Amino acid sequence: MKLETNRRNFLKTAGIVGVGMMAGGLSSCSGNRSPSDAPASKQEHKQIVNMSGYAAPPLKTVRVAVTGTGRRARTIIRSLARVEGVRFTALNDVVPKEAEMALETLNKAAPVKHSPEIYAAGDEEEWKKMCDRDDIDLVVIGTPWHLHTPQAVYAMKSGKHAATEVPAAQTIDECWQLVETSERTRKHCIQMTNVCFGFFEMLTLNMARQGFFGEIIHGDGGYMHHLIDRIMQYGYYRNMTRMRCRAQRDGALYPLHGLGTMAQIMDINHGDQFDFMVSLSSADFLMQARARELAKTDPFYEEFVNAKFVGTMNTSIIRTKRGRTVMLQNDMISPRPYDRIHQVSGTKAIARRFPEPMISVDPEKGWLTEKDSKFKEIEEKYTPEITRRIGDLAKKIGGHGGMDTVMAWRIIDCLRNGIPMDLTVYEAAQWSSVIPSSVWSVAHNGTPVSIPDFTCGAWKTNKRCMDIQLEKGGTTKLI
C-alpha cells in the first residue's frame, strides 16, 4: 500500500512539473533571431530599469529565510551563518525532519544562536506564508528545480531579494519572468553559481582582465560528475526530480558550472553577448539499462523501463557576438572522474583547472603546474583581492572547498553595503536559458538556435559587475 501511494504521489508530481517544464518553450527579446520553426514566438520587452549595476538600499542586518532545506541548502546555511550581519528568521520545508536538520546545522555553525520560525507543516504552499512575513530581506531557495522561478518571483513580488540555487529557470518564459519581476520590483535575483567564486576560477578571471591571455578566443567548461547511483536511488533526490528530468528532456540539463565562469571571463552581458548555440547528445547507454535492472526487484522502476532518457553525454557550442566560442560538456552518468574542465584559450596563453591547475605560456614547453616556480609567480601576481581578503578563512569554513562561503559572504556584503550584485538577474536568466535552448537544438538535430538577450541591448554599455578586486564593499567580516 505504501509503495502504491508513493507511486501515485510521484506520478502526480511528475505530471504537474512536466507540464511546467514544457510550457512556454522559447521566446526572445524583440529583434533576436530564432529558427522559423522554433516552438514559441518572440517576446517584446522594454527594459524597465537596468539591474546590471543596480544598487539596492543598504541593510545593516540581512534577515534571511530559506525555503527547501535539504542537503544543498544546509551547506549554504552553514556558510551564511558565519557572515557578519546575517540573522535567520524563518526556515521552510515540506519535510519536518529536513527543517529540523537545517536548524541544527545553523546553530552548530553560527557563533550566535538563531531562533528562526519553522514552516514545516507539510503544506506545499507554506513557503508563500513564509515569504509574506515582513521581517525577511533575502529568501534563499534550495528547493527542486521546477520551484526555483515561482518561488523567486513570489519572493521579489513580496518585497524580498531572491537567491536561488542553479538553475534559476527551466524555460525561456520563466527566464523572462525573473527579468521582468526583478526590474519591476527592483529586487535582486541572484543565481547562486558558486563555481564563479572558486579560487582558480577567480584567478583566471583576473588574469583575463589584466590581459594575461591576450584576446580570449575560446573557453571549455563542463560538468562531469558520476551521479547515476544517486539519481536513480529512490528517495535520494526528493520526488526523484533528477531522474524525472532526465526522462523528460534531452539536452544540457545542468551546464551552469562550466558556463558561468566562461561567461564571466568573456564579459558576457558586459561588453559581449551570447549569440547562438548548437547542441548534440549521445544516446543513453546506461540509465534505461539500470532502470530495467532495478525494475526486476522494485516495481517502482517499471514506469521507466521504456523511458527515453537524456543522452549520456551532451556537447553544446555557443558563439558570441564578438566571435568567441564556448564548448560545454555535460555527463552525470558515465564513470568519469569529476571534471569541470575550465579551460581558457587566448592569443597569448592558456589555462586549465582539471585534472590539476595548469598554465601554458609557451606551447613548446608545455604546461606549468603548481609545483613550478613560474606558476607560483603568476598565481601570486594575479590572485584577486577577494581571495587575499577572505580566502584562507573561507577554505577553513568550507563548502565545496570554500567557494560556497566566498559566494555567501559576497552576497551579504553587497546587500549590507548597498552596492551592485556580482551576479545579476541577467546572468540568472541567460545562463539558465541555455538549458531549454539546448533541448530544442538536440530535438532538431543540432540546428542552431538563438540565445535571447535579456539585457535588451544594454550589454553593449554595461560595466562589469563581478568585483573580485573589491573596488566597492568588502567590509563585511567572516566570523
User: Which tens digits make up the pLDDT trace of 144-193?
Assistant: 999 999 999 999 999 999 999 999 999 999 999 999 999 999 999 999 99
pLDDT reported for residue 238: 85
| Count of structural domains within the chain | 1
Residue 31: partners with Cβ closer than 8 Å, 6 or more residues away: none
pLDDT in tens, 277-336: 999 999 999 999 999 999 999 999 999 999 999 999 999 999 999 999 999 999 999 999
Q: Which of 427, 454, 450 is nearest to 438 (CA)?
A: 450
Q: Which of 463, 456, 465 is nearest to 430 (CA)?
A: 456
CATH number, position 247: 3.30.360.10
| Cα 434 off chain centre by | 12
With beta carbons less than 8 A apart as the criterion, state whether 29 and 433 touch. no
pLDDT band for 11, please (50, 70, 90 cuts).
Answer: very low
- Distance, CA of 350 to CA of 343 (rounded, Å): 7
- Distance, CA of 34 to CA of 31 (rounded, Å): 10
> What does the angle CA 327 – CA 196 – CA 45 come to, to the nearest 5 degrees?
75
How many other β-carbons are positioned within 10 Å of the β-carbon of residue 456? 18
Kindly report the average pLDDT of the chain as a whole number: 92
Whether 87 is covered by a domain: the verdict is: no
Residue range of the domain that includes 207: 196-384+428-457
pLDDT band for 44, please (50, 70, 90 cuts).
Answer: confident
Whether 370 is covered by a domain: the verdict is: yes
pLDDT band for 19, please (50, 70, 90 cuts).
Answer: very low
Instruction: Using DSSP bridges, classify how beta strands 216-224 and 343-346 pair: parallel, antiparallel or unpaired.
Output: antiparallel
pLDDT reported for residue 20: 39
Instruction: Using DSSP bridges, classify how beta strands 138-141 and 161-164 pair: parallel, antiparallel or unpaired.
Output: parallel
pLDDT band for 43, please (50, 70, 90 cuts).
Answer: low
In the numeric block, which cell numbers belong to residue 83? 557572515
pLDDT in tens, 252-261: 999 999 999 9
Whether 294 is covered by a domain: the verdict is: yes
| Cα 342 off chain centre by | 15
With beta carbons less than 8 A apart as the criterion, state whether 399 and 79 touch. yes
pLDDT in tens, 115-146: 999 999 988 999 999 999 999 999 999 999 99
How many other β-carbons are positioned within 10 Å of the β-carbon of residue 186? 14
With beta carbons less than 8 A apart as the criterion, state whether 450 and 276 touch. yes
In the numeric block, which cell numbers belong to residue 239? 520526488
pLDDT reported for residue 23: 36
Whether 238 is covered by a domain: the verdict is: yes
Half-sphere exposure of 24 (CA within 13 A, CB side): 19
- Distance, CA of 261 to CA of 197 (rounded, Å): 9
pLDDT reported for residue 18: 43
Is the pTM for the entire model greater than 0.85? yes
Q: Which of 258, 147, 252 is nearest to 193 (CA)?
A: 258
Is the confidence at residue 16, as pLDDT, over 60? no
pLDDT band for 38, please (50, 70, 90 cuts).
Answer: low
Whether 215 is covered by a domain: the verdict is: yes
